């Protein structure tokens, strides 16, 4: 049984003219205990909205979950009461965000912020125990001189150190699932490598599952067991990480991989760019949402929404023509 | 070897900064510290490094947007520090810049035609009619429809806005283009479009380019030669091919190892630990010794120099010869 099962999740946004528009449309995936699902896609494809709707952290009232079911550890959390969700948040499912500077409270010390989490979920433990645990966490995430860092404010730390503090907060209650929303995008590659290694190590140690959201294909390919590729609010391709990258079936996944410089392309040669743009939300095409940019587009793509097809590697592909265009 | 169009000699750029609100003491940030290189005619020189290493400051110093503290920038044989205001205007005409953020670098209250026309007006080029023709020509070159000219920047996507930024930069037919993280804010699919456009334009106009980026795979794709910067200094410079296949400086090796590669497992050990030190108090000796896996006593005391040696691939490391053998 999977740890988290997301079934036909849709998120709608109320626009200025009063119309509800579906930014995330019938997204389904499963995360198994201890495994990592990588959710990749370009900006605006709905990957963060998908993640935030799991914990009901959508910006209300504009955005709301309009359809779908979420089952976490056998419990249907999509219909759970707010008080129950508050218990789950931080304790069973924790989140780390892209920008640790805006996600941390600038007027509280590192110690106060970590202890706040412990206070909410373990109110019976003594202050001293909380402090000891905070120290232990900072040590675990590899912050040098953790005793001194407890008393500092976020602005006194570097970007990489701030992200480590965020991770320490997220791990405070040893969650079953960690949602990491672009956790290394704001960091330099050397620091990114350190943080990725840290997350991997902690995952192995605590056996936690991860939903890793990023736009970086190479990064997600190194981290994930399964990958879901999102485009314009829908999942285009979803399957085991090694198959999705070595044998991509959806034309969008293929183009994304081809557009990356430097893998096999000789320097200064033209890249296989994906022409055009993502369609605007107010005029989503009636058929396949990728149709206007697809190299393999046919008549059917403009009129009918592609069904989710499953290939031999157990990869789900949402394309009318994937069998014909296989590489 | 083709001749150099831009020559940088011992360039230093120091900023003085208050140490705090309760003190009058000032600290000196050594953003660029003794940097020398040359940009050859028609080539692309890639400039890579982590955030805060001084790569953007260096780009701005070349345009005299920051006045260098010491050192020289020589353009076609002339030191730009001695230029009169008028000559400086001509110099800036031949050196243009493309910025990272296409949202902030375009005036949101101007139409696209006004944005593209402005440099032509400032440099008193042509009459209204010929400028209009030039705007249409520029839009065509960067792949935007002619209807774009009457629109405002907010009506465009990030990639299209970057196209406008490129059109503005080439409006004056420059010799040198400085691209400061020109594709960093863009998605992969759009990034490829813009990189292709830059390559086309470079070929068409025979431009020399300084391509500043933190993304090593993008830099590798675009550059003929690459300079690696660390804490205000160039630590290695050479042919792109040589840098990527035989990196000499441990910092370059670590940077390359840190890039995630599609479908391969992450590197088991990180070659570079810790954070980048503050440029206000750079470490003694070799500035990289605090993070270097191979640091020895000598590195803590003696600063290595970037000697231009016989093969044109110098590395500022005392021990690079031993490291490459090992």
Put simply, the answer to whether B260 touches A219 (Cβ < 8 Å) is yes
Sequence-distant (≥ 6) Cβ neighbours of residue A303 within 8 angstroms: A286, A287
Put simply, the answer to whether A218 touches B260 (Cβ < 8 Å) is yes
Give the minimum alpha-carbon distance from A194 to chain B in angstroms, rounded to a whole number.
7
The more confident residue out of B185 and B33 is: B33
Cβ atoms of A229 and B189 within 8 Å: the answer is no
* Mutate which: A267, A275, A278, A295, vs B, most B CBs within 10 A: A267
> What does the pLDDT look like over A55-94, one tens digit per residue?
999 988 888 999 999 999 999 999 999 999 999 999 999 9
Question: Could you tell me whether strands B176-180 and B95-98 are parallel, antiparallel, or unpaired per DSSP bridges?
Answer: parallel
Instruction: Report CA torsion sign: B94, B99, B102, B106.
Output: negative
Q: How far does chain B reach from its first CA to its final CA, in angstroms?
A: 31
pLDDT at residue B20 in the model: 75
Instruction: Report CA torsion sign: A88, A92, A93, A94.
Output: positive
> What does the pLDDT look like over B185-204, one tens digit per residue?
888 888 999 999 999 999 99
Q: In what order do the strands lie in the sheet with A20-31?
A: A20-31, A4-14, A63-72, A75-76
Give the burial string for B157-166 (b: 16+ CB within 10 Å, else e).
bbbbbbbbbb
> What does the pLDDT look like over A105-131, one tens digit per residue?
999 999 999 999 999 999 999 999 999
Cα–Cα distance measured from residue A214 to residue B162, given in angstroms and rounded to the nearest whole number = 23
SS3 string, chain A, reads: CCCEEEEEEEEEEECCCCCEEEEEEEEEEEECCCCEEEEECCCCCCHHHHHHHHCCCCCCCCEEEEEEEEEECCEEHHHCCHHHHHHHECCCEEEECCCHHHHCCCCCCHHHHHHHHHHHHCCCCCHHHHHHHHHHHHHHCCCCCHHHHCCCCHHHCCHHHHHHHHHHHHHCCCCCEEEEECCCCCCCHHHHHHHHHHHHHHHHHHCCEEEEEECCHHHHHHHCCEEEEEECCEEEEEEEHHHHHHCCCCHHHHHHHHHCCCCCCCCCCCCCCCCCCCCCHHHCCCCCCCHHHCCCCCHHHHHCCCCCEECCCCCEECCCCCCCCCC
Cβ atoms of B254 and B50 within 8 Å: the answer is no
Question: Could you tell me whether strands B26-40 and A316-317 are parallel, antiparallel, or unpaired per DSSP bridges?
Answer: unpaired
Domain-by-domain residue ranges, chain B? 4-325
pLDDT of B309 higher than 70: no
Tokens of B33: 């510290």
Give the minimum alpha-carbon distance from B127 to chain A in angstroms, rounded to a whole number.
35
Q: Is A18 exposed, middle or buried (0-12, 13-18, 19+ CB in 10 A)?
A: exposed
The position carrying tokens 């007027």 is A107
Counting one residue from A and one from B, how many pairs have CB atoms under 8 Å apart? Answer: 131
Cα–Cα distance measured from residue B223 to residue B210, given in angstroms and rounded to the nearest whole number = 9
Cα atoms in the Cβ-side hemisphere of radius 13 Å centred on B239: 8
pLDDT of B326 higher than 60: no
For A10, phi then psi, to 5°, come to -125, 145
> What does the pLDDT look like over B95-107, one tens digit per residue?
999 988 877 889 9
Cα–Cα distance measured from residue B98 to residue B204, given in angstroms and rounded to the nearest whole number = 17
Give the minimum alpha-carbon distance from A41 to chain B in angstroms, rounded to a whole number.
9
Phi-psi region of A207 (alpha: psi -120 to 50; beta: other; left: phi over 0): left
Cβ atoms of B226 and A267 within 8 Å: the answer is no
The helix-helix angle for A251-259 and B188-205 (nearest 10°) equals 50
B27 at A interface, C-beta within 8 A: no
Residue of A nearest to B196 (CA): A270
Give this complex's ipTM. 0.84
pLDDT of B252 higher than 60: yes
pLDDT at residue A153 in the model: 94
SS3 string, chain B, reads: CCCEEEEEEEEEEEEEEECCCCCCCEEEEEEEEEEEEEEECCCEEEEECCCCCCHHHHHHHHCCCCCCCEEEEEECCEEHHHCCHHHHHHHHHHEEEECCCCCCCCCCCCCHHHHHHHHHHHCCCCCHHHHHHHHHHHHHHCCCCHHHHHCCHHHCCHHHHHHHHHHHHHCCCCCEEEEECCCCCCCHHHHHHHHHHHHHHHHHHCCEEEEEECCHHHHHHHCCEEEEEECCEEEEEEEHHHHHHCCCCHHHHHHHHHCCCCCCCCCCCCCCCCCCCCCCCCCCCCCCCCCCCCCCHHHHHCCCCCCCCCCCCCECCCCHHHHHHC
Cα–Cα distance measured from residue B38 to residue B13, given in angstroms and rounded to the nearest whole number = 17
Domain-by-domain residue ranges, chain A? 33-55+81-231, 247-317
pLDDT of A21 higher than 90: no
Give the minimum alpha-carbon distance from B211 to chain A in angstroms, rounded to a whole number.
13
Mean pLDDT of chain A: 90
Tokens of B69: 């503290």
Q: Is the peptide bond before A61 cis (omega within 30 degrees of 0)?
A: yes
Position B267 confidence tier, pLDDT thresholds 50, 70, 90? low
B48 at A interface, C-beta within 8 A: no
Tokens of B274: 């810790």
* Mutate which: A142, A190, A220, A270, vs B, most B CBs within 10 A: A190
pLDDT of A196 higher than 60: yes
Residue of A nearest to B214 (CA): A188
The position carrying tokens 């990527």 is B244
Superfamily of domain B4-325: P-loop containing nucleotide triphosphate hydrolases (3.40.50.300)
Cα–Cα distance measured from residue B224 to residue B245, given in angstroms and rounded to the nearest whole number = 14
Q: Which residues of A touch B260 (CB under 8 A)?
A: 192-193, 196, 216, 218-219, 221-222
B220 at A interface, C-beta within 8 A: yes
Position B324 confidence tier, pLDDT thresholds 50, 70, 90? low
Cβ atoms of A50 and A9 within 8 Å: the answer is yes
Cα–Cα distance measured from residue B189 to residue B173, given in angstroms and rounded to the nearest whole number = 28
Cα–Cα distance measured from residue B212 to residue B55, given in angstroms and rounded to the nearest whole number = 7
Cα–Cα distance measured from residue A250 to residue A315, given in angstroms and rounded to the nearest whole number = 10
Cβ atoms of B212 and B55 within 8 Å: the answer is yes
C-alpha closest to that of A209 among A14, A31, A5: A31
Put simply, the answer to whether A273 touches B193 (Cβ < 8 Å) is yes
Cα–Cα distance measured from residue B287 to residue A59, given in angstroms and rounded to the nearest whole number = 46
pLDDT of A277 higher than 90: no
Tell me the percentage of chain A whose pLDDT exceeds 90: 61
Put simply, the answer to whether A222 touches B275 (Cβ < 8 Å) is no
Put simply, the answer to whether A190 touches B255 (Cβ < 8 Å) is yes
> What does the pLDDT look like over A128-154, one tens digit per residue?
999 999 999 999 898 888 999 999 999
Mean pLDDT of chain B: 89
Average pLDDT over residues A210-236: 93
- The yes or no reply on domain A33-55+81-231 and CATH 3.40.50.300 is yes
Q: Which residues of B touch A47 (CB under 8 A)?
A: none
Position A327 confidence tier, pLDDT thresholds 50, 70, 90? low
pLDDT of B173 higher than 60: yes
B36 at A interface, C-beta within 8 A: no
């Amino acid at each position: 049984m999977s740890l988290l099962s997301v079934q036909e999740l849709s998120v709608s946004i109320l626009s200025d003219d009063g119309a509800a528009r579906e930014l995330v449309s019938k997204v389904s995936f499963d995360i198994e205990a201890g495994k990592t699902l990588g959710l990749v896609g370009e900006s605006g494809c709905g990957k963060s909205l998908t993640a935030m709707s799991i914990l009901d952290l959508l910006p209300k009232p504009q955005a709301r979950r309009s359809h779908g079911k979420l089952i976490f550890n056998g419990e249907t959390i999509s219909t759970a009461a707010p008080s129950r969700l508050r218990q789950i948040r931080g304790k069973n499912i924790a989140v780390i965000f892209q920008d640790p500077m805006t996600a941390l409270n600038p007027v509280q010390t590192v110690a106060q912020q970590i202890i706040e989490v412990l206070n909410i979920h373990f109110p019976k433990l003594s202050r001293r125990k909380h402090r000891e645990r905070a120290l232990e966490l900072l040590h675990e995430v590899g912050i040098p001189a953790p005793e001194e860092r407890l008393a500092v404010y976020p602005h006194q730390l570097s970007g990489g150190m701030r992200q480590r503090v965020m991770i320490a907060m997220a791990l405070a209650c040893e969650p079953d699932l960690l949602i990491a929303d672009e956790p290394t995008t704001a960091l330099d590659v050397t620091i990114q490598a350190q943080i990725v290694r840290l997350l991997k190590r902690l995952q192995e140690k605590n056996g936690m599952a991860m939903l890793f959201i990023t736009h970086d294909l190479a990064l997600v390919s190194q981290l994930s067991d399964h990958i879901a590729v999102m485009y314009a609010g829908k999942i285009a391709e979803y399957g085991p990480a090694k198959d999705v990258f070595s044998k991509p079936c959806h034309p969008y996944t293929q183009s994304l991989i081809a557009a990356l410089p430097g893998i096999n392309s000789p320097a200064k040669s033209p890249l296989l760019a994906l022409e055009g743009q993502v369609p605007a939300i107010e005029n989503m095409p009636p058929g396949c949402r990728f149709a206007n940019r697809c190299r393999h587009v046919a008549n059917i793509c403009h009129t009918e929404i592609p069904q989710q097809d499953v290939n031999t590697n157990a990869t789900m592909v949402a394309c009318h023509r994937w069998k014909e265009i296989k590489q | 070897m083709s001749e150099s169009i831009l020559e940088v000699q011992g360039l230093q750029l120091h900023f003085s900064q208050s140490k705090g609100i309760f003190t009058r003491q000032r600290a000196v940030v050594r953003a660029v510290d003794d940097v020398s290189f040359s940009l050859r005619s028609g080539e692309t020189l890639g400039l890579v490094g982590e955030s805060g290493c001084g790569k953007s400051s260096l780009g701005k110093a070349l345009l005299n947007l920051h006045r260098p503290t010491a050192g020289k920038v020589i353009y076609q044989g002339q030191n730009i520090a001695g230029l009169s205001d008028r000559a400086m205007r001509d110099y800036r005409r031949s050196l243009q810049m493309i910025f990272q953020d296409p949202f902030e670098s375009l005036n949101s209250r101007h139409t696209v035609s006004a944005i593209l026309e402005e440099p032509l007006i400032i440099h008193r080029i042509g009459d209204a009619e010929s400028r209009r023709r030039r705007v249409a020509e520029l839009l065509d070159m960067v792949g935007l429809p002619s209807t774009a000219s009457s629109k405002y920047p907010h009506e465009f996507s990030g990639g299209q806005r970057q196209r406008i930024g490129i059109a503005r930069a080439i409006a004056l037919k420059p010799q040198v283009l400085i691209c400061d993280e020109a594709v960093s804010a863009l998605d992969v699919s759009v990034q490829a479009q813009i990189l292709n456009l830059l390559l086309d334009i470079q070929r068409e106009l025979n431009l020399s380019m300084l391509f500043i980026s933190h993304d090593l795979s993008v830099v590798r794709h675009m550059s003929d030669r690459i300079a690696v910067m660390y804490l205000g200094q160039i630590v290695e410079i050479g042919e792109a091919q040589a840098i990527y296949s035989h990196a000499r400086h441990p910092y370059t090796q670590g940077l390359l190892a840190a890039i995630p590669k599609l479908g391969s497992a992450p590197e088991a050990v990180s070659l570079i630990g810790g954070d980048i030190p503050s440029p206000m108090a750079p470490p003694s000796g070799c500035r990289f010794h605090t993070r270097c896996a191979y640091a020895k006593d000598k590195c803590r005391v003696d600063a290595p120099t970037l000697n231009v040696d016989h093969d044109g691939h110098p590395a500022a490391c005392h021990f690079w010869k031993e490291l490459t053998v090992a």
